[in-house]
């Protein structure tokens, strides 16, 4: 696209096109009305720009999921492709998408975090190579690889902090080693922040400026979204929701403090509350949730009590952060309203009325894919590929 002297009509128009593309890239997909709100441009200007971008195949316009007349605008594959990788304790999951989060291919392979980092790097490189081959994608089309790791990350070394769930990774310069292994630029993100970013970019919280994502699983963690961005904290430790003290004389937590929320609602504690049915079959969170959905009173009680404890801690966050949404993820969130209702009840009692009336409490839309989609979103939201198309 031709450049011109600043202040001229064409320079202004180009700046407006960039604003529209950046808004769409950040949100994943927007209706034209949402683009108007995000950019401050007039409806007529947005409509003209979207029409021209669609003609040039830079954006794709599709009907929205709600089925109303509004249409959703997202970036096309002409803007490039991105890869997301989730490295967990048990698996490596990978996905290739275009800049509008349309999935080309997705794969999940086993991994044991007790093995050496070298083996982990080889697994990631093998998965990325396999995805590229199967999707018939050339490496030059890929803007980068976002990798989610069980965090937190050390902002100084760029690697995993010691004391995390992957015992052999601390001390490894992960960004450098992974970039070398996959032969592409790599962006790291902690798994909990990736899950929040996934819901923000293409899940339950599209375009939410203020959001708290809470994951209820074996551990209890949260991610804070402030002004549309995940907030890492001054040393990468923001969101340690599970270590909010809720009972000063309670059980000693794995962090060394007493009565943390995680000692009340962490997976192992919840499962200990249930009577053992069989010595051969250890209880699981998924089993607990299914029993509650099937109407088992004890399981419903365990999940209801967990919801009330989470609500107590979440109310503190609501009073401080005034979020628009609280999004629940992790195995326990599969309980749906059995968990959400008690959280809402406590929030309405313990949060300032205006803040409680505003906040929406809901489950994530992406389930266990939130992390890999969030890893991918680090590339989509960070890339300057869109801007280079205008040069």
State the DSSP string of 218-265.
SSEEEEEEETTEEE--TTS-TT-GGGSBS-TTSPBPTTS-BSBHHHHH
Q: Closest CB to Zn ion among 32 and 257?
A: 257
What lies within 8 Å, CB to CB, of 367 at 6+ separation is: 329
Q: State the minimum distance, in angstroms, from the CB of residue 220 to Zn ion.
A: 9
Which H or E element spans position 294? none
How do 91-98 and 229-231 pair as beta strands?
unpaired
| Interacting span for Zn ion (CB under 5 A) from 156-164, 242-250, 325-333, 372-380 | 242-250
Q: State the minimum distance, in angstroms, from the CB of residue 249 to Zn ion.
A: 14
The Cα–Cα gap between 104 and 133 comes to 12
Q: State the minimum distance, in angstroms, from the CB of residue 262 to Zn ion.
A: 6
Q: State the minimum distance, in angstroms, from the CB of residue 253 to Zn ion.
A: 3
Strands (E), 88-150: 91-98, 103-110, 142-149
Q: Is 57 in the site for Zn ion (CB under 5 A)?
A: no
- Interface residue with Zn ion among 12, 15, 109, 255 (CB under 5 A) is 255
Answer whether 264's CB lies under 8 Å from 246's CB: yes
Q: Is 260 in the site for Zn ion (CB under 5 A)?
A: yes
Q: Closest CB to Zn ion among 159 and 266?
A: 266
List the alpha helices (DSSP H) in 111-251.
117-134, 174-182, 191-202
Q: State the minimum distance, in angstroms, from the CB of residue 226 to Zn ion.
A: 23
Q: Is 261 in the site for Zn ion (CB under 5 A)?
A: no
Q: State the minimum distance, in angstroms, from the CB of residue 266 to Zn ion.
A: 9
- Interface residue with Zn ion among 19, 25, 243, 369 (CB under 5 A) is 243
Binding-site residue total for Zn ion (CB under 5 A)? Answer: 5
Q: Closest CB to Zn ion among 95 and 261?
A: 261
Catalog residues that contact Zn ion under the rule CB under 5 A.
Answer: 243, 253, 255, 257, 260
């Amino acid at each position: 696209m031709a450049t011109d002297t600043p202040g001229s009509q064409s320079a202004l128009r180009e700046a407006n096109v960039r604003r529209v593309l950046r808004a769409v890239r950040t949100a994943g997909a927007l209706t034209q009305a949402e683009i108007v709100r995000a950019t401050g441009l007039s409806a007529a200007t947005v409509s003209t720009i979207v029409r021209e971008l669609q003609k040039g195949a830079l954006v794709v316009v599709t009907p929205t999921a709600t089925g109303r007349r509004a249409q959703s605008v997202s970036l096309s594959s002409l803007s490039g492709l991105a890869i997301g990788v989730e490295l967990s304790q048990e698996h490596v999951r990978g996905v290739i998408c275009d800049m509008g989060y349309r999935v080309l291919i997705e794969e999940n392979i086993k991994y044991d975090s007790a093995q050496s980092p070298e083996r982990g790097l080889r697994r990631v490189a093998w998965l990325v190579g396999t995805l590229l081959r199967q999707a018939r994608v050339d490496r030059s089309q890929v803007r980068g690889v976002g990798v989610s790791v069980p965090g937190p990350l050390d902002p100084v070394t760029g690697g995993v902090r010691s004391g995390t769930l992957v015992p052999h990774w601390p001390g490894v310069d992960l960004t450098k080693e992974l970039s070398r292994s996959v032969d592409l630029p790599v962006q790291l993100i902690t798994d909990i922040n990736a899950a929040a970013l996934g819901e923000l970019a293409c899940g339950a919280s599209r375009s939410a400026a203020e959001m708290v994502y809470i994951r209820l699983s074996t551990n209890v963690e949260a991610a804070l979204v402030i002004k549309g961005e995940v907030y890492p904290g001054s040393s990468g430790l923001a969101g340690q929701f599970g270590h909010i003290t809720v009972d000063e004389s309670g059980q000693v937590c794995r962090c060394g403090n007493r009565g943390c929320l995680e000692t009340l609602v962490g997976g192992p504690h919840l499962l200990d509350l249930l009577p053992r049915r069989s010595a051969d079959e250890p209880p699981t969170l998924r089993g607990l949730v299914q029993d509650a959905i099937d109407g088992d009173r004890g399981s419903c009680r365990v999940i209801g009590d967990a919801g009330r404890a989470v609500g107590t801690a979440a109310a503190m966050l609501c009073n401080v952060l005034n979020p628009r949404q609280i999004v629940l993820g992790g195995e326990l969130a599969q309980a749906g309203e059995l968990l959400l209702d008690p959280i809402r009840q406590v929030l309405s009692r313990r949060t300032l009325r205006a803040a409680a009336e505003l906040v929406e409490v809901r489950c994530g839309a992406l389930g266990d894919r939130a992390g890999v989609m969030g890893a991918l979103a680090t590339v989509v939201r960070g890339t300057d590929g869109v801007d280079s198309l205008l040069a």
